[in-house]
Chain A
Amino acid sequence: MTAFHDRVFLAQGLTKIYPMGEIQVQALRGVDLELFAGEFVVLLGPSGSGKSTLLNILGGLDSPSSGAMQYGGRNLSVYDDAELTRYRREHVGFVFQFYNLIPSLTARENVALVTEIARNPLAPEEALDLVGLADRMDHFPAQLSGGEQQRVAIARAVAKRPEVLLCDEPTGALDVQTGIRVLTVIERVNRELGTTTVVITHNAAIAAMADRVIHLSNGLIAHIDRNAQRQAPHEIVW
């Protein structure tokens, strides 16, 4: 097991309540959490356990209703919109379940969309090469398979060399083989670039890839497991 010393995130007493249609959803009920530099963390839990909400708050896409979320010693929960925007632009890479590619832009252009506003990015081609799509750079999202689209999304997320890579159900919409290819890419980014990586899944098998597995249930952290040995994605059976 690798030892992680540099704390990147510190969450204290996070709660989140949001309205969903006519009802109020309490997504987080008081979460305390630390994440360390270079760590690969899996957030595991059933639907509605609060994992996406936690990830969104980590990524500055959302703010907690109460509690504090510190990133590198600064409190994200008091950031205003502009500060959160800068935080996302400079530090965070996102991968979404449904890729969220811009349909009117090619793979290369989708990546360029991010590299153009980053400070020290990889070249879009380099990023796409990293995810094994060097030969499909000029294809539009509609011309790519789901797995390929997701790898474009990963290339887009890592091209800015983020400190943190946040993935929300990256394999949720993919079949097993494609899912493994995508996870391999994520794992490689984590290993080669040393990016702190948080992956949401409700697939327990993926947990074997992680350094730590955080189990969420009903808006609270139920327990945290540490894997003595990370498994490679191709070893995973699900």
Chain B
Amino acid sequence: MRSLDRKLWRELWQMKSQAIAIALVIVCGVAIHIMFGATLEALRQTQARYYQDYRFADVFVSMKRAPESLRARIATIPGVVETETRVVAPINLEVAGFPEPITGRLISIPDNRESRLNRLYLRQGRLVAADRDDEVIVSEAFAGAHHLTPGARLRVVINGRRQTLTIVGTALSPEYINQMRPGSLFPDYQRYGVLWMGRRALGVAYGMEGAFNDVVLGLASDHAVPEVIDALDRLLTPYGGLGAYDREDQASHRFLSEEFNQITLSATLFPALFLGVAVFLLNVVVNRLVGMQREQIGTLKAFGYGNVAVALHYLKLVLAIVLAGVVAGIFTGAWLGQSLAELYMTFFRFPFLDYRLTWPLVLGATLFNAGAAVIGTAVALRAAFALRPAEAMRPEPPARYRATMIERLGLQRFLSPPNRMILRHIERRPLKSLLTMLGIALACGITMVGRFQEATIEHMLDVHYKLSQREDLAVTFVEATAWQAISSLMGLPGVERVEVFRTVPVRLRFQQRSHRTILKGIPAGGDLQRLLDAGLRPLALPAEGVLLTDYLGQMLGVRAGDRLLIEVLEGNRPVREVAVAGLVKEYLGVAGYMELAGLNRLLREGPAISGAYLAVDDRVRPALYRRLEEIPRIAGTAIREQEIRNFHRTMEQTMLFFTFIATIFAIIIAFGVIYNSARIALTEQGRELASLRVLGFTRAEIAYILLGELGLLVLLAIPFGFLIGQGICALFVQGARSELYRIPLIIHPSTYAFAATVVLVSALVSGLLIRRKLDRLDLIAVLKTRD
């Protein structure tokens, strides 16, 4: 079959621009599929290996203080195989040259042995020496954010006492793959640090000698979790237990799970979309490409080439394009996936990354595309094979044109002959026109999904930080504090307004559903923290009952008026039934809200508070920060401006990277679709157009006939594209909802404008390229031969 193969390569070369356009569409589909697939696979593998190798605990619990002797009793709870008691202390830190408040958490590690659970992965330096009380290991993220290396010194306030510690190592822990200040939505490695110290030294510093305030457990199997938690809670209640929880409620793991869900969604939705669109186009293009070779197929068959030989020939042609696209797509995807995975690495603190392409991923992409191409080819060939060669070689009988609907309505006098030709073309082959339009509309739609999030994120920020969280600073106390603390806050330099709040960890139960979250008490009529209704209007806080974040309400399946069971997870752990007064609109985080005094009553406590929101005078911030650090009761200070920056950075890191890629790919796909449609139209109508030229039509006139049809289809396709785009965005928004954030389905006009511009520019460029080909149409050759 050497001559046939030669024909194949020559024809490939001839249609190179078209082949490249098709291959590019495939590259995009495959690259997205591989990028997400490989990243997701890498993250999952890495997490699993890390958890296993570094013994991530199964159950966690903190308490006020328990004697070390209790360890033996905990260890005998059925199902428990490993027990590690720890001292965990909230601290304030000072890093030379960094003016803002830094808070953190100091965790004990065993003095003379390796941890049984949550082992450290030492990145630099060494573990602390058992006989030293001034050595500390800091988390790699914190060290990196402040350029701290072993040997550097840190000033730390533990339990109100200032101490200078020497860094001996930097490390990572499976417990802090995501490292966030409790209550924060996004990580901030500069202002929150995790540190480790020897058990004895920390015990002395924190007043926990011979005692512990935190324990982590390893279980034989997941099935034991509920019983172990129950037993543990019963055992620890006298010691001020704060409620045991499993991995699902462990902050880092939960965040990781949410993020993985998010990535999984993207890794499913985007590739399915892009690959789907690419495959659809491939099928349409291949079908028409082979369909146009009807006469050559007839000729080959006339010489005695069998169906199999002819089919193989065209399959080879199509697969050459497809496989080139698939291979390029796999490499592009693998490369982008590596970048994406590395990007996530800066976000999730894994010690290593298990990144590799897996065969199912590669095979899936290959088979999916090759399959679509084969089907498209097969459909076209079946039509060609159905004809006797004599018929196939005969020019197609004149197509059955008829007056279009518009003309039948008597409007033809408004249409010039070229316009009539355009309309009749479209109406004669409605399916073809519809498929072309669908292709363009899909390209328009996927352009939107890559874009809409950017404007939406700004909206989320505005709502959360301008309408709802309006404080400059939020301070939290080490533990619940008497209401009088407000006056000492008022006395701080630059403080203009103080609004207190009370937070308490709770488990909310409704019917068989439950969720661990925080319940927040705020004073009615506050200005710094406002709750919003569904229409984003400030909501008056009801005197009775609890308000829930709308998403939390949906998770629990509650509506206003339902009665919710609240299990308080600290103090004497009361369980109360409270009516749901309503839902509040929140895009970030989830929580329950009550009027402050109502919450104090529910907790059977006096007017206690957990922290306060401050409005401050910007000019005296440095002085204020210094004063805040000196107050031992303050466990943490969150700066709103910084929270906004953290939010931006996180979103940019995780989401905007792939929306950027998605946008680029969508543009390529849009161009690929439109260029191919135009190119095929040229081949199909070339003879007819050349004949018109011979009859005296100008180049511009025949270009109008050819490109006018395309232009009309493009214009008709754009509104459909908007609808498709809305659908895809809705799907994305629906799937991307998580406890961390919900992206509202708000499609900014600029997104529509962008998608329409991409389509129109693609059409314009395709039109110009086709116009050049039209100008070079060989009239003599057209007249001389039959096609």
Contact = CB atoms under 8 A, between A and B. Distances in A.
A71 to B, nearest CB: 14
Residue picked from B1, B3, B299, most chain A C-beta under 10 Å? B3
Interface of B: 1-4, 6-7, 10-11, 14, 295-296, 299-307, 309, 385, 388-391, 393, 397-398, 400, 781, 784-786
A9 interface: no
B7 A98 contact: no
A117 B304 contact: yes
Interface in A103-146: 104-105, 109-110, 112-114, 116-117, 142, 146
Interface stretch (A33-41, A83-91, A201-209): A83-91
Contact of B307 (A63, A85, A90, A98): A85
28 contacts: A20-B397, A56-B390, A59-B302, A61-B302, A62-B388, A62-B391, A63-B388, A82-B307, A85-B301, A86-B306, A89-B304, A89-B306, A92-B304, A98-B785, A98-B786, A99-B785, A100-B295, A100-B393, A102-B296, A104-B6, A105-B3, A105-B6, A109-B6, A109-B7, A110-B3, A114-B304, A116-B2, A117-B304
B393 to A, nearest CB: 7
Contacts of A117: 303-305, 309
A146 B784 contact: yes
B307 A81 contact: yes
B390 A116 contact: no
B317 to A, nearest CB: 11
Contacts of B296: 102
Given A94-B302, A117-B304, A117-B305, A62 B7 contact: no
Given A105-B10, A113-B4, A142 B781 contact: yes
Q: Sorted from nearest, which 8 A-B pairs have the closest CB atoms?
A: A89-B304, A61-B390, A104-B10, A56-B390, A113-B3, A62-B390, A88-B304, A21-B397
Residue picked from A87, A96, A117, most chain B C-beta under 10 Å? A117
Interface residues of A, number: 39
Contacts of B2: 112, 116
A192 interface: no
A235 interface: no
A11 to B, nearest CB: 16
Interface string A54-81: 0010010111000000000000000001
A22 interface: yes
B3 A109 contact: yes
Nearest to B1: A116
A104 B786 contact: no
Given A88-B302, A94-B303, A116 B400 contact: no
Nearest to A87: B304
Given A22-B400, A98-B785, A105-B10, 16 more contacts: A52-B390, A62-B389, A63-B388, A85-B301, A85-B306, A85-B307, A88-B304, A90-B304, A94-B303, A105-B3, A105-B7, A109-B3, A109-B7, A113-B4, A116-B3, A146-B784
A58 to B, nearest CB: 11
Residue picked from B4, B390, B784, most chain A C-beta under 10 Å? B390
A104 B397 contact: no
B388 A61 contact: yes
Contacts of B307: 81-82, 85
B60 to A, nearest CB: 71
Interface string A175-192: 000000000000000000
A90 B306 CA distance: 12
A117 to B, nearest CB: 6
B303 A89 contact: yes
Contacts of B304: 85-90, 92, 114, 117
A96 to B, nearest CB: 7
A112 B7 CA distance: 11
Contacts of A86: 304, 306
B7 A102 contact: yes
B389 to A, nearest CB: 4
Contacts of B391: 18, 62
Contacts of B400: 21-22
A63 B2 CA distance: 31
Nearest to B10: A104
Contacts of A105: 3, 6-7, 10
Nearest to B307: A81
A20 B2 CA distance: 37
